[in-house]
C-alpha cells in the first residue's frame, strides 16, 4: 500500500483562525452587505460608493475562503486524525465531526451565500456577469470540500498535486489582486481591477470544478462509505499505534498534528556567520516559519478583517481586533519559544543564555506581527502607533502564556459562580495571553491615540518586572529530616 499522504495539519491556531475569522467576517460582512444593499437601493446611491472597493473586498473574501477551506477547513485533517475522527465514532465522540454529506451541504450553502454577497457587490460594475457568483458559489464550495476529502482517501497522484497547487495559486492571486484593488480603490483611482477580479474568481471556480469532476469516483466512494473508504480503515492501526505509544510512553505524539511534508530546510552561506551563536537558532526558526508559508498567507489574509471591523463597528473595536489577531499570529509563530520554555530537555539542547535564546526565538514572531499589523493598520486607516502597540500587546500575551503555563496550578479547582461551577485555573490558563491582547486593545476606548503606546509600554514593564521578581523569589525548600536509623548511619 502506498504511503499515506501527509496533508496540511489543522492546528489549533488554524482551526481557531478559521472559526473566528470566517464566523466574524461572515456575520459582519452580512450586516455590511445589508446596509450596502439598502444604500444602493436609493436613487443615485452608486455615486456615493466606490464599487470597486467592495468588489475587491468580495474578491479577498473569496480567496481567503478558498485558502481557509484548503488549509484549515473541516476536512483538512491528516489521515490518521481523519481515521480517528471518522472511523471510531464511539471513542472519538468529542472529536467527531459532521458527516461528509453534511459538510458538503454546508459548504454549498456557504458558497451560495458568498456568491449572493458577491452579486450584490459586483452588480453596479459588472452587470449580468454578477449573476454568475450565486450559481458558481454553491458548486465551488461543495467541490472544494468533496475534492479535499477525496484526496485524503486515496493515494495522491501528480495530477491531484497539480490541482492543489493550482487552486492555491489562483486563490493567492485572487487575494493579491483584491488587496491591490482595495488599496487603489481607497484613493479612488480604480476601475482597473474589476474585470480582472471577476476573471480570477471565475478561473478559480472552473479549476475547482474541474478537479471535482476529475475526482468524482473517489468522491462517490467517500460519500458512500460515510466519510472514508472502507479499504483505508486498516490505517486506523496507525492511529492505534500512536495512541498506544502516547498512553504507554506518556508522550504527546497523538495530540500533535502531523506536520505537512515540505522541502528540507537547508543552510546557505549566510548561515555560517551565525553558527555557534543564537543567530543560528533564529535563522532556522525563521526558515521553519517560511517553510509553513500557507499559515502566514492565511494570517495575512485576515488583515482586511481589521479594516472591515473598523469601518463597520468603529476605530476602537478595530483596535481590539488588531491586538487579538496580532497575538494570535505571534503565539502561532512562537511555537519554538513555547516549546523551549515548556520543555526542560529542550533547555538542555540549547547552549545559549536564556536572554539570547529568548531574543532569537522571538525574532520570527516579532517580524511576522510587524508585517501583519503594518498591513492591517494601513488597510484600516488606524494610527501607525497601533503597529507598535499591537506588537507590545502580542509580546506581553506571549509572556503571560509562558508564565501561566509554568505555574503549578491545580486544574481541579472549581469555583462557584451564579452561572454554575467554573474551573478557575483551567479558565485562567486558557485565557492567558488573550487577556493581555484584549486589554491592550480596549485601551483605545479610554485613551487618546498618542497615549496608548506609552501606557501599554509602562504596563508591560511593570508586568515584566513583577514576573521577573516572582521568578527570582527562592522556591520553598523541602527539608528532609533523616530517620533515626539514617541519622545514626550518618553519624557513624
Partner 1 sequence: MLQDTATSLLAVCGLAKAYDGRVIIEGLDLEVEAGSAVALMGPNGCGKSTVLRCLSGHEQGTHTSFETAGRPARVHSSAYRRDVFPIFDDFSFFPDITVVEHLELLAGMYDVPDHEATAAAALKRFGISGVAQQFPTALSSGQIRRVAFAAAAIRPWKLLLLDEPEQRLDLDGRSRLVRFLQEQMAAGRGLVFATHDAGLAQLLAASVVTLAHQG
Residues near partner 1 (CB under 8 A): 241, 245, 248-251, 253, 256, 258-259, 264-265, 267, 271, 274-276, 280-281, 284, 288, 291-292, 335-336, 339-340, 343-354, 475, 477-480, 482-483, 486, 490
Grid cell digits, residue 10: 489543522
Question: Which ranges of 257-314 does DSSP label H, i.e. alpha helix?
Answer: 269-274, 278-291, 293-301, 303-313
Distance CA 104, CA 145 (A): 6
Minimal distance, residue 433 CB to partner 1, in Å: 18
Report phi then psi at 240, rounded to 5: -60, -40
Grid cell digits, residue 191: 476601475
**Cβ closest to partner 1, residue 5 vs residue 311:** 5
Distance CA 81, CA 12 (A): 13
Minimal distance, residue 273 CB to partner 1, in Å: 11
Q: Are strands 420-423 and 414-417 parallel, antiparallel or unpaired?
A: antiparallel
Minimal distance, residue 480 CB to partner 1, in Å: 4
Minimal distance, residue 338 CB to partner 1, in Å: 9
- For 404-408, the CB contacts below 8 A with 24+ separation are 404/428, 404/429, 404/432, 404/433, 405/338, 405/341, 405/342, 405/429, 405/432, 406/341, 406/342
Q: Which of 277, 121, 261, 295 is nearest to 201 (CA)?
A: 121
**Cβ closest to partner 1, residue 128 vs residue 348:** 348
Minimal distance, residue 4 CB to partner 1, in Å: 11
**Cβ closest to partner 1, residue 91 vs residue 346:** 346
Distance CA 356, CA 277 (A): 9
- Counting runs of H as helices and runs of E as strands, what totals does the chain give? 22, 2
**Cβ closest to partner 1, residue 220 vs residue 277:** 277
Minimal distance, residue 288 CB to partner 1, in Å: 5
* DSSP assignments along 216-266, one per residue: HHHHHHHHHTTSS-GGGGGGHHHHHHHHHHHHHHT--TTTSPPPPP-PPP-
Minimal distance, residue 314 CB to partner 1, in Å: 38
Minimal distance, residue 82 CB to partner 1, in Å: 16
CB 326 within 8 A of CB 343: no
**Cβ closest to partner 1, residue 82 vs residue 147:** 82
**Cβ closest to partner 1, residue 81 vs residue 320:** 81
Distance CA 191, CA 143 (A): 31
Minimal distance, residue 484 CB to partner 1, in Å: 11
Minimal distance, residue 17 CB to partner 1, in Å: 17
Minimal distance, residue 354 CB to partner 1, in Å: 7
**Cβ closest to partner 1, residue 284 vs residue 426:** 284
**Cβ closest to partner 1, residue 5 vs residue 315:** 5
Minimal distance, residue 72 CB to partner 1, in Å: 16
Q: Measure CA of the first residue to CA of the last residue in the chain; give whole Å.
A: 69
51 Cβ contact list (under 8 Å, min separation 6): 121, 122, 124, 125, 194
Grid cell digits, residue 147: 475534492
**Cβ closest to partner 1, residue 43 vs residue 484:** 484
Report phi then psi at 469, rounded to 5: -65, -40
**Cβ closest to partner 1, residue 224 vs residue 241:** 241
Minimal distance, residue 287 CB to partner 1, in Å: 9
Distance CA 97, CA 226 (A): 12
Distance CA 221, CA 211 (A): 16
Distance CA 64, CA 72 (A): 11
105 Cβ contact list (under 8 Å, min separation 6): 142
**Cβ closest to partner 1, residue 90 vs residue 345:** 345
**Cβ closest to partner 1, residue 346 vs residue 367:** 346
**Cβ closest to partner 1, residue 30 vs residue 234:** 234
Distance CA 382, CA 453 (A): 13
Amino acid at each position: 500500500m502506498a504511503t499515506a499522504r501527509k496533508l496540511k495539519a489543522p492546528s489549533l491556531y488554524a482551526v481557531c483562525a478559521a472559526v473566528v475569522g470566517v464566523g466574524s467576517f461572515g456575520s459582519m460582512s452580512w450586516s455590511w452587505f445589508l446596509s450596502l444593499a439598502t444604500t444602493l437601493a436609493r436613487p443615485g446611491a452608486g455615486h456615493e460608493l466606490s464599487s470597486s472597493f467592495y468588489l475587491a473586498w468580495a474578491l479577498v473574501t473569496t480567496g481567503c475562503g478558498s485558502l481557509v477551506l484548503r488549509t484549515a477547513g473541516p476536512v483538512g485533517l491528516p489521515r490518521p486524525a481523519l481515521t480517528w475522527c471518522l472511523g471510531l465514532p464511539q471513542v472519538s465522540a468529542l472529536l467527531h465531526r459532521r458527516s461528509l454529506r453534511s459538510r458538503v451541504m454546508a459548504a454549498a450553502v456557504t458558497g451560495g451565500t458568498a456568491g449572493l454577497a458577491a452579486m450584490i457587490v459586483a452588480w453596479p460594475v459588472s452587470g449580468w456577469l454578477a449573476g454568475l457568483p450565486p450559481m458558481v458559489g454553491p458548486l465551488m464550495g461543495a467541490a472544494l470540500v468533496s475534492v479535499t476529502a477525496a484526496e485524503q482517501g486515496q493515494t495522491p497522484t501528480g495530477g491531484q498535486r497539480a490541482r492543489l497547487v493550482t487552486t492555491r495559486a489562483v486563490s493567492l492571486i485572487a487575494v493579491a489582486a483584491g488587496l491591490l484593488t482595495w488599496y487603489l480603490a481607497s484613493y479612488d483611482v480604480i476601475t482597473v481591477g474589476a474585470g480582472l477580479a471577476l476573471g480570477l474568481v471565475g478561473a478559480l471556480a472552473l479549476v475547482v470544478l474541474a478537479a471535482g469532476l476529475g475526482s468524482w469516483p473517489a468522491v462517490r466512494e467517500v460519500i458512500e462509505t460515510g466519510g472514508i473508504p472502507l479499504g483505508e480503515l486498516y490505517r486506523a492501526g496507525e492511529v492505534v499505534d500512536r495512541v498506544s505509544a502516547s498512553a504507554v510512553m506518556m508522550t504527546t505524539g497523538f495530540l500533535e498534528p502531523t506536520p505537512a511534508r515540505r522541502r528540507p530546510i537547508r543552510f546557505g552561506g549566510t548561515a555560517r556567520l551565525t553558527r555557534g551563536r543564537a543567530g543560528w537558532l533564529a535563522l532556522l526558526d525563521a526558515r521553519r516559519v517560511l517553510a509553513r508559508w500557507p499559515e502566514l498567507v492565511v494570517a495575512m489574509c485576515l488583515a482586511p478583517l481589521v479594516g472591515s471591523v473598523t469601518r463597520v463597528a468603529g476605530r476602537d473595536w478595530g483596535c481590539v481586533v488588531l491586538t487579538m489577531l496580532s497575538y494570535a499570529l505571534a503565539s502561532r509563530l512562537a511555537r519554538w519559544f513555547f516549546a523551549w520554555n515548556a520543555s526542560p530537555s529542550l533547555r538542555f539542547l540549547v547552549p545559549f543564555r536564556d536572554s539570547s535564546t529568548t531574543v532569537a526565538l522571538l525574532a520570527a514572531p516579532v517580524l511576522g506581527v510587524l508585517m501583519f499589523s503594518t498591513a492591517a493598520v494601513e488597510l484600516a486607516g488606524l494610527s501607525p502607533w497601533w503597529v507598535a502597540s499591537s506588537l507590545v500587546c502580542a509580546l506581553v500575551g506571549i509572556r503571560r502564556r509562558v508564565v501561566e503555563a509554568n505555574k503549578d496550578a491545580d486544574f481541579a479547582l472549581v469555583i462557584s459562580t451564579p452561572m454554575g461551577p467554573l474551573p478557575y485555573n483551567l479558565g485562567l490558563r486558557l485565557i492567558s495571553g488573550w487577556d493581555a491582547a484584549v486589554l491592550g486593545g480596549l485601551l483605545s476606548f479610554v485613551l487618546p491615540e498618542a497615549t496608548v503606546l506609552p501606557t501599554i509600554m509602562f504596563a508591560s514593564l511593570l508586568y515584566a518586572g513583577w514576573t521577573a521578581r516572582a521568578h527570582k523569589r527562592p522556591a520553598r525548600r523541602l527539608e528532609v529530616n533523616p530517620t533515626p536509623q539514617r541519622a545514626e548511619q550518618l553519624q557513624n
